[in-house]
Amino acid sequence: MPEAGRKRIGARLFLIPALIAGLIGQAGAGDDETPLTIRHMPTDTSFDLRDAYVLELLALVLEQTEADYGPAALRAAPFRVSQSRAARLIRDGEYLDIIWAMTSRQREETLLPVRIPLMRGLMGARLLVVRREHVGRFAAVDNLRELREFALAQGHDWPDTPVLRANRLTVETSSDGDSLFRMLAHARVDAVPRAITEIWAEADSYRRHDLAVEPGLLLLYPAPNYFFVAPDREDLQRRLHEGLERAIADGSFQALFDRHPSIGQALQQHLTEDTRIIRLSNPDLPADTPLERSELWHAPLFGNDRRQSAAGEDSD
């Protein structure tokens, strides 16, 4: 990309946090053109930073499409709900207009997906969070058969749970991320798999529960996370898709991805040439997943073997 283009993208990304605040503030504005209000889930806790990247990306998408679709305002809902309840509320046109979550066949049957992986597939790149005193316990684990000796924890309605169980892993469940960390802290499970893009944002939770990331081991399966909207909101689906495609085309999507600490720092710290990768299959991956579009996926991890990643590596 030419230097001038990089400077323009950098300037735009520098303004994205302010743009988010402006979009939220527009909800009560008295402009001649009433902004479209998009209701989304609030953060889980005051120290939860997991949604920071996606909110910036959503702001970028709305900026990319404002000339064609008009102004938009982001509004956080008053309280957080489970993923399954959020899907029902969006479907029924209540409380929420959008969620961002890992896809599954059932989810794509319930809601309209915008099939652009927001994390370039990295929601399926999972590190193991363990009790701090047990760091190194997985050092000898090299394959799926050996991993099956341990108990893992995931959310009861997360699409990851059936993926892990389909690979014959032992999975205990709870309602939300913090309760999973409490389960781990009380030794009810051996590890909580978390996306590599969630590690930076959850660092405070790990400190509070005396947890740490197990180094050198990564679970990998195709798990794109998308924007999802109600079945009757094809207008919003179209706007989000067009905005994402424009951001991909002009390089601003990649620039945001590269510079965000939840991604860049995590990849640098936790993905090295010595990282052991255990590939899992995802039998719940929808047929319309855009595996053929290499530009949508993180190349070093998925590269040319995205379909091999979908199939996994272990059959016993």
Residues 82 and 99 in one domain: yes
Strand-pairing partners, residue 129, are 192, 213
Average pLDDT of the chain? Answer: 87
Residues 284 and 213 in one domain: yes
- Is 184 within a domain? yes
Contact 310, 179 (CB under 8 A): no
In the chain, pLDDT over 70 holds for what percent of residues?
A: 84
pTM listed for this prediction: 0.83
- Is 190 within a domain? yes
- Is 292 within a domain? yes
Residues 100 and 185 in one domain: no
Confidence of residue 34 (pLDDT cuts 50, 70, 90): confident
Q: How close are the terminal C-alpha atoms of the chain, in Å?
A: 46
d(CA 110, CA 132): 40
CATH number at residue 42: 3.40.190.10
- Is 316 within a domain? no
Strand-pairing partners, residue 130, are 212
- Is 248 within a domain? yes
Confidence of residue 177 (pLDDT cuts 50, 70, 90): confident
Residues 270 and 215 in one domain: yes
Confidence of residue 23 (pLDDT cuts 50, 70, 90): low
Residues 254 and 301 in one domain: no
Residues 202 and 295 in one domain: yes
Total tally of structural domains belonging to the chain? 2
The range of the structural domain enclosing residue 102 comes to 3-120+224-262
Residues 70 and 200 in one domain: no
| Residue 128 scores a pLDDT above 80 | yes
